[in-house]
Chains A and B, each alone.
Chain A
Amino acid sequence: MMSAAAIHTAGAPGGRETPWRQPYRGTVGMACLIAAEASIFIIFVVAYIFYIGKSLSGPTPAEVLELPIFGTICLLSSSITVHFAVSALRKGNLRGCTLNLAGTVLLGLIFLGSTAQEWYHLIHDDGLTIQTNLFGTTYYSLVGLHASHVVVGLILLSLTLAFCLMGRVKQEHAEKLETLSLYWHFVDGVWVVVFLVVYVLGR
């Protein structure tokens, strides 16, 4: 006859006592979310590539698009600052973490500003809207989808920054901040793809 705790102690084999470790659930959950989001972006990118050169009327990408070099540099650098923020927090350097987070938010805002400027120019000066032609349709939806992800990331980063300034963020939260940084790296990675497809391949 078995005792009550039999099933609970049935494990723990005598000889090999390997520690039972599993991945951090935030990282795995974020990886899953990124897989799902990446699939969404792939569909938009496929639509963009499929419709390159298929617009029935102008303006064409070659006529109106300019390389957003400055915004791109800012967004890609923000990946580095958010990485510094995580490693600073892991070492317990709260000041370094706060400064790097502030830098990340600032760089992200500059990127959004440059996108806004570009859209203003396209809509106001070139008369390109989402209704104009297939280029407008695919361009605004792909770049807009990415920008909306930047906005979400910025909201989360700003919240974290606010918590940092209030002194609520501690060293033990490093794993959580790293989960958020994964999302931000993903947003940056998507921009590299968008940049190559829209501004290099599609122009």
Chain B
Amino acid sequence: MSTTRALDGIDETLAPQGRRERNLIYEWLSTVDHKKIGILYIVYSLIFLLIAGFEAMLMRIQLAVPDNHFVSPQTFNELFTMHGTTMVFFVGMPILFGFGNYLVPLMIGARDMAFPRLNAFSFWISAFAGLLLYFSYFGGSGLYAAGSAPSVGWFAYAPLTAKVFSPGHSTDYWTLAIFLSGIGSIGAAVNFVTTIVCMRCKGMRFGRMPLLVWLYLVTACLVFVAVSPLTAAQIMLTLDRYLGAHFFDTQAGGSAVLWMHFFWIFGHPEVYILVLPAFGFASEIIPVFSRKAIFGYPAMVGATVAIGFISLGVWAHHMFTVGLGPSANTFFVFATMVISVPTGIKIFNWLATIWGGKLIFKTPMLFSIAFLFQFLIGGLTGIMLSVAPFDWQLGNSYFVVAHFHYILVGAILSMIFAAFYYWYPKMTGRMLSETIGKWHFWLFIIGFHLTFDFMHIPGLLGMPRRIYTYEANRGWGTLNMIVSIGAAIQAISILIFAYNLVHSYFKGKAAGHDPWDAWTLEWSTPSPPPDYNFAVEPAVNSRRPLWDLKHPDDPDSDYE
């Protein structure tokens, strides 16, 4: 797919100006450009991805064989706490905010986000939060002593987080890190909504926005109502720990279950905050590599909004084992099942987009196809777990761990990889290597399925999550060994991916503006785009402005 002639013309107006030499570090530290901040988010998340992945590997080594003592029990508790917290707050959210920051203004034909300085603030406060979390390794017991990381689990159930049970400062670092990352997320979300509502280019009505922009709009709205409760709960926990308040203090009549409610009111919509941008990537990539317009655009938008609303009413399916009573259980069982309807609409629309298309199996498409299947399976085990009696058997088992990793890794991470292969050329001006990409893809898929397919079985056999080790006579040994081998293969594939990112930055094929012959506005700018994005503000007539430009005889606007 070569650059079309139509786009060569645009390049002339945007020929890169002679750039003044500037201090590189100063430029990146002080930038308010949405593209640079987007890249900062992405690079920062990738570093945390390597750290949290390393923690996962240590846990898998520990669990590979029975009666193992590779790490101490205390270290193991710290590892799963840090792994979960890092992956959700310092990998998942920031990497998606990073792509959104980079892509949303370009896709709606704007020159920057609505509040560039707030944007920089949101990034740096999130970055600081991540550093604060890891500083607990040094300062967790106070600066004078050897530190320790928090070991309360990523959902930090009360009353374990009370001062008596978690002395020292490690839990406070956890609380502060989540609190600050929440502020950063809310700032970013304010920016996304305002940018999308107020800065669309001429003709970009809501019904013409790329689906990715729609998905970020809904994600950002979810951040307001989901992340804020967690922020409030962290304020309460801090009051408990420092001022002697009793919110979650069971000794003084406080309720541990209240924390669970507050946490999961955040926790479940959070899953959708992470997965909706992945849906957005899929909705951009699958049409381009199927050479067809997205199937059922209005249904996709409707399903997205429906998912956003329903996701706010399902949180207590994380709490079936608490004993909520039959009526609450029934409500949350049905609410959870209902959410699979709009999700199903999405899957069918992606399949219908692929159906009859002229498929091109480049790496982004490979990851998208993997996403479709893996997301489906993760969704189906989700429906199994939504049945309260089934959940009573398997809640807090490795079955649950396998289920949510199927979504987080199999669906979200796969789509993030797809997004990297698809937009890396736009961000850097270089293509990622297809050969290395294929190695990355196949190793990742093999590793993923070895790990997470087999992880369901020890769960069904009764292996609880978060156990430090297990006896040999349980019969979980072989399965855990397979899971750990799969994890090692995934780790290798991620290192290959990291190598590809660096290697292709220097040695990659030049990308041109539009290497995929795509249809959304970001591909009309040079790669990487200039600071101002568009020399002249664009105007659009349809959902696929570049299609209209490349096919003036048969524009989309005739059909929409």
Chain A residues with CB under 8 Å of chain B are: 1-13, 20, 22-25, 28-29, 32-33, 35-37, 39-44, 47, 50-51, 54-56, 130-131, 133-134, 136-138, 140-141, 145
**Would you call B6 and A1 a contact (CB within 8 A)?**
yes
The 9 closest A-B pairs by CB, nearest first: A11-B539, A39-B228, A43-B232, A131-B244, A2-B6, A137-B245, A25-B198, A8-B536, A11-B203
Task: Check: B552 CB closer than 8 A to any chain A CB.
Answer: yes
Task: Check: B255 CB closer than 8 A to any chain A CB.
Answer: yes
In the bound complex, what is the Cα–Cα distance between A47 and B557 (angstroms)?
52
Task: Check: B498 CB closer than 8 A to any chain A CB.
Answer: no
Set of chain B residues within 8 Å of A145, measured between Cβ atoms: 235
Closest residue of chain B to A8 (Cβ to Cβ) is: B536
Residue from the list B194, B201, B552 in contact with A25, Cβ < 8 A: B194
Set of chain B residues within 8 Å of A140, measured between Cβ atoms: 245
Q: How far is the CB of B113 from chain A (nearest CB, A)?
A: 10
**Would you call A36 and B9 a contact (CB within 8 A)?**
no
In the bound complex, what is the Cα–Cα distance between A36 and B10 (angstroms)?
41
Residue from the list A9, A36, A40, A130 in contact with B244, Cβ < 8 A: A130
Set of chain B residues within 8 Å of A44, measured between Cβ atoms: 232, 236
In the bound complex, what is the Cα–Cα distance between A47 and B13 (angstroms)?
59
Residue from the list A13, A25, A29, A134 in contact with B246, Cβ < 8 A: A134
Set of chain B residues within 8 Å of A24, measured between Cβ atoms: 198
**Would you call B246 and A12 a contact (CB within 8 A)?**
no
In the bound complex, what is the Cα–Cα distance between A145 and B233 (angstroms)?
13
Interface residue tally on B, bucketed by range: 35 or more
**Would you call B244 and A7 a contact (CB within 8 A)?**
no
**Would you call A32 and B224 a contact (CB within 8 A)?**
yes
Task: Check: B202 CB closer than 8 A to any chain A CB.
Answer: yes
Q: How far is the CB of B207 from chain A (nearest CB, A)?
A: 14
**Would you call B190 and A141 a contact (CB within 8 A)?**
no
In the bound complex, what is the Cα–Cα distance between A134 and B246 (angstroms)?
6
Set of chain B residues within 8 Å of A138, measured between Cβ atoms: 247
- Contacts A47-B247, A134-B246 given; indicate if A11 touches B538 (C-beta within 8 A): yes
In the bound complex, what is the Cα–Cα distance between A11 and B247 (angstroms)?
57
**Would you call A36 and B199 a contact (CB within 8 A)?**
no
Set of chain A residues within 8 Å of B6, measured between Cβ atoms: 1-2, 6
- Contacts A4-B10, A130-B243 given; indicate if A11 touches B228 (C-beta within 8 A): no
Closest residue of chain A to B229 (Cβ to Cβ) is: A43
Set of chain B residues within 8 Å of A134, measured between Cβ atoms: 246, 252-254
- Contacts A23-B197, A23-B198, A25-B194 given; indicate if A133 touches B252 (C-beta within 8 A): yes
**Would you call B235 and A3 a contact (CB within 8 A)?**
no
**Would you call A28 and B233 a contact (CB within 8 A)?**
no
Residue of A24, A33, A43, A134 with most partner-chain B CB within 10 A = A43
**Would you call A5 and B13 a contact (CB within 8 A)?**
yes
Set of chain B residues within 8 Å of A6, measured between Cβ atoms: 6, 9-10, 549
Q: How far is the CB of B334 from chain A (nearest CB, A)?
A: 23
In the bound complex, what is the Cα–Cα distance between A6 and B12 (angstroms)?
12
**Would you call B198 and A22 a contact (CB within 8 A)?**
yes
Set of chain B residues within 8 Å of A54, measured between Cβ atoms: 253
Closest residue of chain A to B197 (Cβ to Cβ) is: A28
Stretch of B399-407, B458-466, B540-548 on the interface side: B540-548
**Would you call A7 and B10 a contact (CB within 8 A)?**
yes
Residue-wise interface mask of B (294-319) relative to A, using a CB-CB cutoff of 8 A (1 in contact, 0 not):
00000000000000000000000000
Residue-wise interface mask of B (192-229) relative to A, using a CB-CB cutoff of 8 A (1 in contact, 0 not):
01100111111100000000000000001101111111
- Contacts A10-B549, A32-B224 given; indicate if A25 touches B536 (C-beta within 8 A): no
